[in-house]
Amino acid sequence: MTKDNYSKDIAHLGLGKATEYKESYDPSLLQSVPRKLNRDAIELIGALPFTGEDLWNGYEFSYLNKKGKPLVFLLQCRVPAESPNLIESKSFKLYLNSFNQTAFASCEEVFKRLESDLSLCAGAPINITLEPVAQSLSHQLIDEPAECVDELDLHFNEYHPNSSLLRTHSRYGKEYLCSHLLKSNCLITNQPDWGSIYIKYEGKLIDHCSLLKYIVSFRQHNEFHEQCVERIFCDILKECSPEKLTVCARYTRRGGLDINPFRSNFEAPYQNIRQPRQ
Protein backbone atom coordinates (compact mmCIF):
# COMPACT_ATOMS: atom_id res chain seq x y z
CA MET A 1 0.00 0.00 0.00
CA THR A 2 1.38 3.41 -0.96
CA LYS A 3 1.48 6.40 1.35
CA ASP A 4 -1.17 8.12 -0.79
CA ASN A 5 -3.52 5.15 -0.53
CA TYR A 6 -2.98 5.01 3.23
CA SER A 7 -3.84 8.71 3.51
CA LYS A 8 -7.00 8.16 1.46
CA ASP A 9 -8.06 5.27 3.70
CA ILE A 10 -7.52 7.42 6.78
CA ALA A 11 -9.55 10.24 5.20
CA HIS A 12 -12.42 7.83 4.59
CA LEU A 13 -12.56 7.22 8.34
CA GLY A 14 -13.64 10.83 8.82
CA LEU A 15 -10.57 11.89 10.78
CA GLY A 16 -9.10 15.39 10.87
CA LYS A 17 -12.43 17.20 10.84
CA ALA A 18 -13.30 19.99 13.27
CA THR A 19 -15.38 18.68 16.16
CA GLU A 20 -17.16 20.45 18.99
CA TYR A 21 -16.29 19.48 22.54
CA LYS A 22 -19.15 17.64 24.21
CA GLU A 23 -19.54 17.45 27.97
CA SER A 24 -22.23 14.76 28.08
CA TYR A 25 -21.23 11.10 27.85
CA ASP A 26 -21.11 9.98 24.22
CA PRO A 27 -19.35 6.71 23.29
CA SER A 28 -20.07 7.32 19.60
CA LEU A 29 -17.20 9.84 19.62
CA LEU A 30 -14.64 7.03 19.68
CA GLN A 31 -12.99 6.29 16.34
CA SER A 32 -11.07 3.09 15.63
CA VAL A 33 -8.35 2.82 12.98
CA PRO A 34 -7.62 -0.65 11.55
CA ARG A 35 -4.01 -1.56 12.27
CA LYS A 36 -4.00 -3.47 8.98
CA LEU A 37 -3.86 -0.19 7.02
CA ASN A 38 -0.38 0.68 8.20
CA ARG A 39 0.84 -2.89 8.66
CA ASP A 40 0.12 -3.70 5.03
CA ALA A 41 2.14 -0.63 4.06
CA ILE A 42 5.21 -1.95 5.91
CA GLU A 43 4.59 -5.54 4.74
CA LEU A 44 3.69 -6.72 8.22
CA ILE A 45 1.41 -9.56 7.16
CA GLY A 46 0.47 -12.75 9.01
CA ALA A 47 1.88 -13.61 12.43
CA LEU A 48 3.29 -10.59 14.25
CA PRO A 49 7.04 -10.71 15.01
CA PHE A 50 6.47 -8.97 18.34
CA THR A 51 4.21 -8.62 21.36
CA GLY A 52 3.37 -5.37 23.10
CA GLU A 53 0.79 -2.79 24.02
CA ASP A 54 -0.21 0.82 23.54
CA LEU A 55 -0.14 2.48 26.98
CA TRP A 56 -2.27 5.62 27.25
CA ASN A 57 -1.88 7.92 30.27
CA GLY A 58 -4.77 10.30 30.89
CA TYR A 59 -4.22 13.12 33.37
CA GLU A 60 -7.58 14.88 33.09
CA PHE A 61 -10.32 12.26 33.38
CA SER A 62 -13.29 13.61 35.29
CA TYR A 63 -17.01 13.12 35.86
CA LEU A 64 -19.66 14.20 38.38
CA ASN A 65 -21.03 12.11 41.22
CA LYS A 66 -24.75 12.13 42.03
CA LYS A 67 -24.26 15.24 44.20
CA GLY A 68 -22.79 17.13 41.25
CA LYS A 69 -19.29 17.03 42.71
CA PRO A 70 -16.43 16.66 40.20
CA LEU A 71 -14.13 13.68 40.68
CA VAL A 72 -10.78 13.69 38.88
CA PHE A 73 -8.63 10.67 38.11
CA LEU A 74 -5.38 9.67 36.49
CA LEU A 75 -6.32 7.08 33.88
CA GLN A 76 -4.25 4.31 32.34
CA CYS A 77 -5.47 2.41 29.29
CA ARG A 78 -3.52 -0.56 27.92
CA VAL A 79 -4.42 -1.67 24.39
CA PRO A 80 -2.80 -4.97 23.26
CA ALA A 81 -0.68 -4.71 20.12
CA GLU A 82 -2.55 -7.69 18.64
CA SER A 83 -5.91 -5.88 18.75
CA PRO A 84 -7.31 -5.35 15.23
CA ASN A 85 -7.75 -1.60 15.78
CA LEU A 86 -5.88 1.25 17.38
CA ILE A 87 -7.79 4.06 19.11
CA GLU A 88 -7.51 7.37 17.28
CA SER A 89 -6.12 9.97 19.68
CA LYS A 90 -8.38 12.97 19.03
CA SER A 91 -11.49 10.81 19.28
CA PHE A 92 -10.14 9.37 22.55
CA LYS A 93 -9.75 12.88 23.98
CA LEU A 94 -13.22 13.93 22.87
CA TYR A 95 -14.71 10.75 24.32
CA LEU A 96 -13.05 11.24 27.71
CA ASN A 97 -14.09 14.89 27.70
CA SER A 98 -17.72 13.83 27.21
CA PHE A 99 -17.77 12.49 30.79
CA ASN A 100 -17.08 15.93 32.31
CA GLN A 101 -20.62 17.11 33.01
CA THR A 102 -22.26 13.69 33.27
CA ALA A 103 -23.34 12.36 36.67
CA PHE A 104 -22.71 8.69 37.48
CA ALA A 105 -23.83 6.64 40.47
CA SER A 106 -20.43 5.11 41.17
CA CYS A 107 -16.84 4.78 40.03
CA GLU A 108 -17.61 1.15 39.23
CA GLU A 109 -20.24 2.22 36.69
CA VAL A 110 -17.76 4.61 35.04
CA PHE A 111 -15.06 1.93 34.99
CA LYS A 112 -17.37 -0.57 33.28
CA ARG A 113 -18.39 1.94 30.62
CA LEU A 114 -14.78 2.84 29.89
CA GLU A 115 -13.76 -0.79 29.68
CA SER A 116 -16.69 -1.74 27.44
CA ASP A 117 -16.49 1.27 25.09
CA LEU A 118 -12.73 1.14 24.61
CA SER A 119 -12.63 -2.64 24.17
CA LEU A 120 -15.31 -2.34 21.49
CA CYS A 121 -13.30 0.37 19.74
CA ALA A 122 -10.04 -1.62 19.87
CA GLY A 123 -11.76 -4.87 18.94
CA ALA A 124 -10.13 -6.67 21.87
CA PRO A 125 -10.21 -6.55 25.68
CA ILE A 126 -8.29 -3.59 27.09
CA ASN A 127 -7.09 -2.91 30.63
CA ILE A 128 -8.17 0.23 32.52
CA THR A 129 -7.00 1.68 35.84
CA LEU A 130 -8.31 4.80 37.59
CA GLU A 131 -6.40 6.54 40.40
CA PRO A 132 -7.81 9.58 42.26
CA VAL A 133 -5.68 12.63 41.45
CA ALA A 134 -5.39 13.68 45.10
CA GLN A 135 -3.59 10.40 45.88
CA SER A 136 -0.97 11.05 43.23
CA LEU A 137 -0.29 14.78 43.44
CA SER A 138 1.87 16.49 45.99
CA HIS A 139 0.12 19.19 48.01
CA GLN A 140 3.47 20.89 48.58
CA LEU A 141 5.01 23.70 46.54
CA ILE A 142 6.83 25.23 49.51
CA ASP A 143 8.18 23.81 52.79
CA GLU A 144 4.71 24.03 54.32
CA PRO A 145 2.29 21.32 53.04
CA ALA A 146 -1.08 22.59 51.82
CA GLU A 147 -4.36 21.29 53.23
CA CYS A 148 -6.47 19.78 50.42
CA VAL A 149 -10.20 20.57 50.57
CA ASP A 150 -11.28 18.13 47.85
CA GLU A 151 -12.62 15.40 50.15
CA LEU A 152 -15.51 17.54 51.43
CA ASP A 153 -18.80 15.75 50.73
CA LEU A 154 -21.04 18.47 49.30
CA HIS A 155 -23.80 19.06 46.79
CA PHE A 156 -22.79 21.15 43.74
CA ASN A 157 -25.07 22.84 41.20
CA GLU A 158 -23.16 25.94 40.06
CA TYR A 159 -20.58 25.64 37.30
CA HIS A 160 -20.02 29.29 36.39
CA PRO A 161 -18.02 31.63 38.67
CA ASN A 162 -20.03 32.95 41.60
CA SER A 163 -18.05 34.91 44.18
CA SER A 164 -21.11 35.16 46.46
CA LEU A 165 -20.52 31.51 47.36
CA LEU A 166 -17.51 32.54 49.47
CA ARG A 167 -18.01 32.74 53.24
CA THR A 168 -15.77 33.50 56.22
CA HIS A 169 -15.81 32.62 59.91
CA SER A 170 -15.34 35.15 62.67
CA ARG A 171 -12.07 33.53 63.77
CA TYR A 172 -8.76 34.95 62.54
CA GLY A 173 -5.89 32.78 61.30
CA LYS A 174 -3.47 31.69 58.62
CA GLU A 175 -4.06 28.89 56.11
CA TYR A 176 -2.44 27.30 53.10
CA LEU A 177 -5.09 25.41 51.10
CA CYS A 178 -5.23 23.57 47.79
CA SER A 179 -7.68 21.91 45.43
CA HIS A 180 -7.12 19.71 42.38
CA LEU A 181 -10.68 20.22 41.10
CA LEU A 182 -10.09 23.46 39.20
CA LYS A 183 -11.35 23.26 35.62
CA SER A 184 -12.27 25.94 33.11
CA ASN A 185 -12.30 26.16 29.31
CA CYS A 186 -10.05 28.00 26.89
CA LEU A 187 -11.57 31.29 25.79
CA ILE A 188 -10.55 30.70 22.15
CA THR A 189 -10.75 26.93 21.51
CA ASN A 190 -13.17 25.86 24.26
CA GLN A 191 -10.74 23.07 25.16
CA PRO A 192 -10.83 22.09 28.85
CA ASP A 193 -8.11 23.51 31.10
CA TRP A 194 -7.26 21.54 34.24
CA GLY A 195 -5.27 22.71 37.22
CA SER A 196 -4.38 22.51 40.88
CA ILE A 197 -4.90 25.74 42.80
CA TYR A 198 -3.05 26.88 45.92
CA ILE A 199 -4.36 29.61 48.21
CA LYS A 200 -2.33 31.04 51.09
CA TYR A 201 -3.82 33.80 53.22
CA GLU A 202 -4.00 35.51 56.60
CA GLY A 203 -7.24 37.01 57.93
CA LYS A 204 -10.71 35.79 58.80
CA LEU A 205 -10.79 32.04 58.20
CA ILE A 206 -12.44 31.14 54.91
CA ASP A 207 -15.14 28.49 55.12
CA HIS A 208 -13.70 25.46 53.30
CA CYS A 209 -17.04 24.26 51.95
CA SER A 210 -17.76 27.64 50.41
CA LEU A 211 -14.25 27.80 48.92
CA LEU A 212 -14.55 24.40 47.26
CA LYS A 213 -17.96 25.29 45.82
CA TYR A 214 -16.46 28.52 44.47
CA ILE A 215 -13.51 26.71 42.85
CA VAL A 216 -15.82 24.14 41.23
CA SER A 217 -18.03 26.97 39.92
CA PHE A 218 -15.36 27.67 37.25
CA ARG A 219 -16.00 24.27 35.64
CA GLN A 220 -17.88 25.56 32.57
CA HIS A 221 -16.34 29.05 32.50
CA ASN A 222 -14.40 30.25 29.43
CA GLU A 223 -11.33 32.30 30.32
CA PHE A 224 -7.55 32.13 30.01
CA HIS A 225 -5.51 30.51 32.81
CA GLU A 226 -3.98 33.83 33.89
CA GLN A 227 -7.36 35.55 33.98
CA CYS A 228 -8.92 32.77 36.07
CA VAL A 229 -6.21 33.10 38.71
CA GLU A 230 -6.60 36.89 38.81
CA ARG A 231 -10.38 36.55 39.07
CA ILE A 232 -10.00 34.12 41.99
CA PHE A 233 -7.51 36.45 43.70
CA CYS A 234 -9.79 39.48 43.32
CA ASP A 235 -12.94 37.61 44.38
CA ILE A 236 -11.33 36.28 47.56
CA LEU A 237 -9.87 39.72 48.31
CA LYS A 238 -13.28 41.35 47.87
CA GLU A 239 -15.50 38.76 49.58
CA CYS A 240 -13.18 37.59 52.38
CA SER A 241 -10.93 40.65 52.96
CA PRO A 242 -7.73 38.80 53.93
CA GLU A 243 -4.79 40.93 55.04
CA LYS A 244 -2.41 38.76 53.03
CA LEU A 245 -3.25 36.63 49.99
CA THR A 246 -1.47 34.42 47.47
CA VAL A 247 -3.23 32.52 44.69
CA CYS A 248 -1.25 30.32 42.32
CA ALA A 249 -2.17 27.48 39.97
CA ARG A 250 -0.31 24.62 38.34
CA TYR A 251 -2.06 23.78 35.07
CA THR A 252 -1.74 20.58 33.08
CA ARG A 253 0.38 20.69 29.98
CA ARG A 254 -1.05 21.24 26.51
CA GLY A 255 1.07 21.04 23.38
CA GLY A 256 4.26 20.81 25.46
CA LEU A 257 3.46 23.96 27.48
CA ASP A 258 2.09 24.38 30.97
CA ILE A 259 1.11 27.77 32.43
CA ASN A 260 1.43 28.44 36.15
CA PRO A 261 0.16 31.92 37.15
CA PHE A 262 1.18 33.31 40.55
CA ARG A 263 -0.44 36.36 42.16
CA SER A 264 0.33 37.66 45.67
CA ASN A 265 0.23 40.83 47.71
CA PHE A 266 2.93 39.77 50.17
CA GLU A 267 5.38 37.13 48.88
CA ALA A 268 7.58 36.19 45.91
CA PRO A 269 6.70 33.41 43.42
CA TYR A 270 7.30 29.84 44.57
CA GLN A 271 9.89 27.48 43.12
CA ASN A 272 9.03 25.66 39.91
CA ILE A 273 8.01 22.18 41.10
CA ARG A 274 6.42 20.17 38.31
CA GLN A 275 3.47 18.05 39.33
CA PRO A 276 2.63 14.55 37.96
CA ARG A 277 -0.16 15.90 35.72
CA GLN A 278 2.35 18.27 34.10
Write the pLDDT tens digit of every residue in 12-55: 555 555 557 787 999 999 999 999 988 888 888 888 888 899 99
pLDDT, mean of residues 114-123: 98
Stronger pLDDT, 236 or 21, i.e. the higher one: 236
Distance, CA of 139 to CA of 261 (rounded, Å): 17
Per-chain mean pLDDT for the chain: 91
Query: What per-residue string of b and e applies to 98-135 under the rule 16 or more CB within 10 Å gives b?
Result: bbbbbebeeeeebeebbeebbbebbbeebebeeeebbe
pTM: 0.87
Active site residues: 186, 193
pLDDT of the residue at 241:
98
Specify the 3-state DSSP secondary structure of 49: coil
For residue 1, pLDDT over 50 is answered with no
Residue 111: CA count within 13 A, CB half-sphere = 12
Is 215:207 a contact under the CB 8 Å cutoff? no
Transcribe 191-249 into DSSP letters. Answer: -EEEEEEEEEEEEEEEPHHHHHHHHHTTTT-B--HHHHHHHHHHHHHHHH--SEEEEEE
Domains in the chain, please, with CATH?
18-133 (3.30.1130.10), 138-264 (3.30.1130.10)
Mean pLDDT is lowest, of 86-90, 112-116, 134-138, 265-269, for 134-138
pLDDT, mean of residues 102-127: 98
